[in-house]
Amino acid sequence: MPKLILASTSPWRRALLEKLQISFECAAPEVDETPRSDESPRQLVLRLAQEKAQSLASRYPDHLIIGSDQVCVLDGEITGKPLTEENARLQLRKASGNIVTFYTGLALFNSANGHLQTEVEPFDVHFRHLSEAEIDNYVRKEHPLH
């Protein structure tokens, strides 16, 4: 059976896969994650998941490589990673009391035979109204920057 590679350095993705109690390694994909001007959220996460998985194929022949990406859409606009605490607060204020759609793209690439399986799953999150204290507390405790 081929070895499993997670094309990610995200501690959250690593923790998710660890819950399955299967053996895998993590590797950093080399992908430009800049959205293209004509891409829908669905197209963006699908492309990035595929590129992340396929970018590691030459380093990991005969492996199953998982690539994944997620974007948040609020008021019809893709919201990027906040990168700063102030941006995280701004995003949470915008989400407060609204419905936010997350698109998750997943790609499983068999580097031995080139077979690629993909899936995109949208899901809506209904945010309750958040107070400034709740937003500050969340940002301080969770560090949602990346």
E strand or H helix that includes residue 41:
helix 41-55
> The dihedral of CA 45, 68, 93, 85: what is its sign?
negative
Alpha-carbon span 80 to 122, nearest angstrom: 16
- Which residue among 32, 38, 62, 69 is the active-site one? 69
**Are 138 and 30 contacting, i.e. CB atoms less than 8 angstroms apart?**
no
CA dist 95 → 79, 82, 83, 115, 139 (Å): 10, 13, 17, 38, 14
Is residue 69 part of the annotated active site? The answer reads yes
State the DSSP string of 84-121. SHHHHHHHHHHHTTSEEEEEEEEEEEETTT--EEEEEE
Q: Which residues are catalytic?
A: 69
